[in-house]
Amino acid sequence: MVCRYKVNIHIPNSLNSTFLNCINVDEFQVYRSCDVLIIGGGSAGLRAAIEAHDAGAQVLIISKSKRGDPHTVLARGGINAALGTMDPEDNWMVHAADTLKEGEFLADYEKVEILCKNAPDTVNELVEWGARFHREEDGRLTQRFFGAHTYRRTVFYEDWTGQEMIRVLMNQVQKRKIEIIDNVYITKLLKSSDFSKEGPKGGSGADTEPEMIGGALGINIEKKEIVVFKCNSLILGAGGYTRVYSVSSSRIFENYGEGMALAYEVGADLVDMEMVQFHPTGMVWPEKALGILATEAIRGEGGILLNSKGERFMKKYDPERMELGPRDVVARANYNEIVDGRGKEHGGVWLDVTHLSKEKILDRLPTMYKQFKEIDGIDISKEKMEVGPTAHYSMGGVVVDTKCRTKIKGLFAVGEVMSQIHGANRLGGNSLLDTMVFGKIVGGEAAKFFNESRDKTDGKTEKLSSSSSTIQLDTNGQKIFKDKIFVVNNPVKFRDELQDLMKLNAGIIRDETKLKAGLKSVLQLNEEFYSKDNITKEFKPSDIDDDMDAENIVLTYQVKSSLVVCEAIIKSALMRQESRGAHYRSDFPKIDEEKWACNIYCSSSSEFGEEMVLFKHNVKEIKGELADFLSTHVKAEHHREFE
Asked if 561 contacts 258 with a C-beta cutoff of 8 angstroms, the reply is yes
> Would you place residue 533 in the very low, low, confident or very high pLDDT band (cuts 50, 70, 90)?
confident
Quote the pLDDT of residue 26: 33
* Residue range 284-300, pLDDT digits in tens: 998 889 999 999 999 99
Domain boundary assignment for the chain:
278-391, 486-618
Q: For residue 23, is pLDDT > 70?
A: no
Is residue 642 scored above 90 in pLDDT? no
Q: Does residue 189 carry a pLDDT above 60?
A: yes
pLDDT band at 537 (very low <50, low <70, confident <90, very high): confident
Those residues whose C-beta lies under 8 Å from the C-beta of residue 614, and which sit 6 or more positions away, are 571, 572, 575, 600, 601, 602, 603
Does the annotation mark 576 as catalytic? no
Q: Which residue has the higher pLDDT, 545 or 265?
A: 265
Q: Is 580 a catalytic residue?
A: no
**How far apart, in whole angstroms, are the C-alpha atoms of residue 101 and residue 329?**
13
Residue 483 reports pLDDT greater than 60: no
Q: Do domains 278-391 and 486-618 have the same CATH topology?
A: no
Q: What per-residue confidence (pLDDT) applies to 486?
A: 85
Digit-coded pLDDT (tens) for 190-200: 998 887 655 44
Contacts 24+ apart (CB under 8 A), 400-405: 402/108, 402/110, 402/111, 402/114, 402/441, 403/441, 403/442, 403/445, 404/235, 404/438, 404/441, 404/442, 404/445, 405/445
Residue 467 has pLDDT above 50, yes or no: no
The region of weakest confidence among 28-37, 76-85, 598-607, 613-622 is 28-37
Taking Cα atoms as reference points, which of 433, 431, 326, 364 lies closest to residue 82?
A: 433
Output the pTM of the full model: 0.90
pLDDT at residue 132 is higher than 90: yes
Q: Of 29 and 103, which is predicted with more confidence?
A: 103
Q: For the domain bounded by 278-391, which CATH number is listed? A: 3.90.700.10
CATH number corresponding to 486-618: 1.20.58.100
Q: How does strand 179-181 pair with strand 59-62?
A: parallel
Please check the confidence at residue 22 and state whether its pLDDT lies above 60. Answer: no
More reliable by pLDDT, 96 or 223: 96
pLDDT at 30 over 50: no
- pLDDT tens digits for 557-575? 999 999 999 999 999 999 9
Answer yes or no: is pLDDT of 410 > 50.
yes
What per-residue confidence (pLDDT) applies to 204?
A: 44
At residue 456, the pLDDT reads 66
Lowest mean pLDDT among 31-35, 168-172, 367-371, 623-627: 31-35
Per residue in 609-629, pLDDT (tens digit) is 568 999 999 999 999 999 999
Q: Looking at residue 547, what is its pLDDT? A: 67
227 within 8 A of 32, measured Cβ to Cβ: yes
Phi then psi dihedrals of residue 129, to 5 deg: -85, 0
Q: Is the pLDDT of residue 243 over 90?
A: yes
Distances (CA, A) of 120 to 248, 297, 393, 439, 524: 31, 20, 23, 15, 49
Given its phi and psi angles, is residue 346 left (phi above 0), alpha (psi -120 to 50 degrees) or beta?
A: alpha
User: Of 7 and 397, which is predicted with more confidence?
Assistant: 397
Measured distance CA(473)–CA(471) in Å, rounded: 6
Question: Which pLDDT band, with edges at 50, 70 and 90, does 640 fall under?
Answer: very low
Nearest in space to 391 (alpha carbons), one of 225, 248, 604: 248
Q: Please, which pLDDT band fits residue 540 given cuts at 50, 70 and 90?
A: low
Which pLDDT belongs to residue 235?
98
Residue 264 pLDDT exceeds 80 = yes
Q: Select which of 279, 405, 580, 585 is catalytic.
A: 279
Rounded distance, CA 161 to CA 77, Å? 6
Contact (CB, 8 A) for 589 and 642: yes
Whether residue 403 is predicted with pLDDT greater than 70 in this model: the reply is: yes
* Residue 232 clears pLDDT 60, i.e. is over it: yes
pLDDT of residue 574: 98
Fill in the DSSP letter of residue 352.
E
At 27, the pLDDT band (50, 70, 90 cuts) reads very low
Query: What value does the mean pLDDT take over residues 206-223?
Result: 80
Instruction: Identify residue 250 by its one-letter amino acid code.
Output: S
pLDDT at 469 exceeding the cut of 50: no
Could you give the CA distance from residue 271 to residue 603 in angstroms, rounded to a whole number?
A: 9
What is the chain's mean pLDDT, rounded? 87
Entry field: residues in the chain = 643
Give the integer Cα–Cα distance in Å for 13 and 482: 18
Residue of higher predicted confidence among 247 and 192: 247
CA 557 to chain centre: 17
Q: Which bin fits 161, alpha (ψ -120 to 50), beta or left (φ > 0)?
A: alpha
Q: Which residue has the higher pLDDT, 148 or 638?
A: 148
Q: What angle do CA 112, 212, 181 make, to 5 degrees?
A: 75
User: Residue 455's pLDDT is what?
Assistant: 66
A 10 A CB-CB count for 641 gives 8
**Cβ of 293: how many Cβ atoms within 10 Å?**
22
